[in-house]
Amino acid sequence: MSAVIPTHNTPTLAIPTGLRQWIDSAIALTTPAAVHWCTGSAKEAKALTKALVEAKAFHPLPADRFPNSYLYRSNPNDVARTEHLTFVCTEKADDAGPNNVWMDPVAAHAKMDALFAGAMAGRTLYVVPYCMGPIDSPYSRCGIEITDSAYVVLNMRLMTRMGTAALERISRDPSCVKGLHSVGDVNPDRRFIMHFPEELAIKSFGSGYGGNALLGKKCHALRIASWQGRSEGWLAEHMLLLALESPSGETHYVAAAFPSACGKTNLAMLVPPDALPGWKVRTLGDDIAWLHPGPDGRLWAINPEAGYFGVAPGTNAKSNRNAFEMVKRDTLFTNVALTASGDPWWEGLGGTPSIDWQGQPYTPGNGPAAHPNSRFTVAAKNNPCYAAESDDPNGVPLSAIIFGGRRRSLAPLVFEALDWAHGVLIGASVASETTAAITGQVGVLRRDPMAMKPFCGYHFADYWRHWLNLGHTLTRPPKIFHVNWFRQNDAGQFLWPGFGDNLRVLKWITERVNGTAAAKDTPIGPMPTRAALDTTGLTLSEDALSELLTVDRAGWRAEAALLKADFAAYGERLPAALTHQLEALVHRLG
């Protein structure tokens, strides 16, 4: 380490040489005023928080109602993931695939190193060791993020197993992901998020926004990990993970993939309706799951994260009672509004805002008071329905995988895949109307295979092949389903109540796994008979129910034609088995 750099706390642990050299060269390049190795301790978090409050970057919330909680306002130009500035830099452009924006790795390094040169002058460089997954799990993977943002450090502390325990693991196993991040001058013209999967490396410059800056999350646990998973025989997926316990005490583990802001966090923390007593949902994860074939022929899952970076708007005691409770302490809020008494506020909460997300007096004419992509960051253990299995090094065996999207028409409430390969087609067909989690137009239908369009670190055709191959290794694969909570009638009203009532669909799914629920065969896959879907205590018109459980053959034929055109973009790499699945669907549709 350069002698001129004051170091707060060099660790005593032996850091593998390659990593030490990488850290030294990052310090030499970015020329920080100080270097701090993060331990993850409460004392450290307190000191960083205090400094952010003093710098007016953190706004303390009323300590009696929101103890140890703070509001952070990001630069208004930096409020969401920026997919057009997110690159996958593989040696061969083809390996990144048409689903990614590609840049040559040599050019990308040169571009990024020029931006990073001197970028941390006058700032502290934080070395943030983290572990994705339980520290003692063979399925976990580590990383080190170098950042000049104390906000990032505090978020990483909530979102990952961060600090000394992770560094100890890294000192034993140096194969960790190297992430270099600087907020730079938060200039969108100088903002790039580059991934180098072949080097297990990330460089992110010019953004402090979660998905761009908390490198353990989308960058590592999805883009780089999906690449790692392919070479090592596992899957990194954009999936929530939940435990569903029936009144008889039987537990099924379910993973579910939905595009951003389709209610993953709400489903992961679902509160069962009063009409279905005895059912319980516990949360293992709300965003990412890593899936491994187990020695017993089942598919096992861990959640690599340790916290939630959830969308605040729409969260309330009805939509998500658990989230509503858990953010009342130890929470970092980003870009929410404030009430007159200084409490955090967002659309859907009730009451009135006083100060908007940019810190200005709220004027209704100026748009929403909280940014539509405003967030809360909170440790998973704050969740009243946290599943203790989240810390099991072996993970949990999956009974079912669910795919879903936000679609006002066509996709019925729920249908089942005929087998694993058909399930891969269903996953590859996921489409959803866009929301505020990314920059760009809201409400446009886009194809988002496996909800991984923004997150798969390699060519989608190779990814589907990997899914298909992995299925062959499973003798007891999970059943695969597709759901849609967002069907609307001609008047634009939702047909299905959603939220806690989604348990009714989960119940049918686990009963299908047990072989006890009835289904009718349809060209797109088995669907519940009316009697098999438990509607006890639900006020739902017969018309709504029949619309939710009907297959519009003409609409599906048009969908299959669109899908064929979308798949054509993946060229010759497209696995034949997937094409056969699509042909079989067209045949069944008649």
Nearer to ligand OXD, 128 or 268 (CB): 268
Closest distance of CB 311 from ligand OXD, Å: 7
Give the nearest residue (CB) to ligand OXD.
260
- Residue 215 CB, nearest approach to ligand OXD (Å): 14
Vertex 226: Cα angle to 307 and 211 (nearest 5): 45
Q: Smallest distance, Å, CB 49 to ligand OXD?
A: 23
437 counts as binding ligand OXD under rule CB under 6 A: yes
Amino acid at 465: R
- In this structure, the chain runs to a length of 590
Phi, psi values for residue 391, rounded to 5°: -95, 5
Q: How far is the CB of 256 from Mn ion (least distance, A)?
A: 12
Please give the distance of CA 247 from its chain centroid, rounded to a whole number: 30
Q: Which of residues 23-82 bind ligand OXD (CB under 6 A)?
A: 81
For residue 389 the two structure tokens come to 């299995």
- By C-beta, is 36 or 375 nearer to ligand OXD? 375
For helices 576-589 and 420-428, give the axis angle rounded to 10 degrees: 90
Closest distance between ligand OXD and the C-beta of residue 427, in Å? Answer: 16
**Closest by CA position to 510, among listed 253, 268, 235:** 253
Which residues between 309 and 368 bind ligand OXD (CB under 6 A)? 309
49-57, 107-115, 282-290, 387-395 -> range binding Mn ion (CB under 5 A): 282-290
- Are 134 and 395 within 8 A, CB to CB? no
Query: Among residue numbers 173 through 232, which ones bind ligand OXD (CB under 6 A)?
Result: 211
211 binds, among ligand OXD, Mn ion, none (CB under 5 to 8 A by kind): ligand OXD
Residue 358 or 439 with smaller CB distance to ligand OXD? 439
Site residues for ligand OXD, window 373-432 (CB under 6 A)?
none
| Active-site residue (options: 38, 131, 219, 262) | 262
Shortest Å distance, C-beta 271 to Mn ion: 21
User: Degrees (nearest 5) of the Cα angle 466, 472, 474?
Assistant: 110
**Residue 53 Cα to chain centre, angstroms:** 29
| Inter-CA distances, 486 with 84, 250, 499, Å | 27, 29, 11
Phi and psi for 287 in degrees, rounded to 5?
-145, -40
Interface with Mn ion in residues 120-159 (CB under 5 A) = none
Nearer to ligand OXD, 209 or 253 (CB): 209
The interface with ligand OXD within residues 80-139 (CB under 6 A) comprises 81
Give the number of residues in contact with ligand OXD, rule: CB under 6 A: 6
Residue nearest to Mn ion (CB): 287
What is the 3-class SS of 428-491, one letter each residue?
A: HCCEEECCCCECCCCCCEEECHHHCCCCCCCCHHHHHHHHHHHHHCCCCCCEEEEECCCCECCC
Of 269 and 437, nearer to ligand OXD (C-beta) is: 437
CB 199 within 8 A of CB 266: no
Residues 454-513 that bind ligand OXD (CB under 6 A): none
Gyration radius of the chain's alpha carbons: 23
Q: Which is nearer to ligand OXD, 264 or 479 (CB)?
A: 264
In the annotation, is 262 catalytic? yes
Least distance to ligand OXD from the beta carbon of 375, Å?
Answer: 8
Quote the tokens at residue 68.
């140890």
CA 177, CA 72: separation in Å to the nearest integer? 28
446, β-bridge pairs: 432
Closer to Mn ion by Cβ: residue 95 or 287:
287
- Closest approach, Cβ 375 to Mn ion, in A, equals 11
- Residue 288, both tokens: 């990412």
- Residue 437 touches which member of ligand OXD, Mn ion, none, C-beta under 5-8 Å by kind: ligand OXD
Tokens of 537: 């205590």
Query: Residue 129 or 263: which CB sits closer to Mn ion?
Result: 263
Distance CA 296, CA 394 (A): 12
Characterize 161-191 residue by residue with b for buried, 16 or more Cβ atoms within 10 angstroms of its Cβ, and e for exposed: bbbebbbebbeeeeebbbbbbbbbebeeebb
Site string for Mn ion, 235-264 (x = CB under 5 A): -------------------------x----
The binder of Mn ion chosen from 287, 330, 343, 511 (CB under 5 A)? 287
Q: Which one of 78, 287, 547, 559 is in contact with ligand OXD (CB under 6 A)?
A: 287
Q: Would you please indicate which residues are annotated as catalytic (active-site) residues? A: 262
- Residues at the interface with Mn ion (CB under 5 A): 260, 287
- Residues at the interface with ligand OXD (CB under 6 A): 81, 211, 260, 287, 309, 437
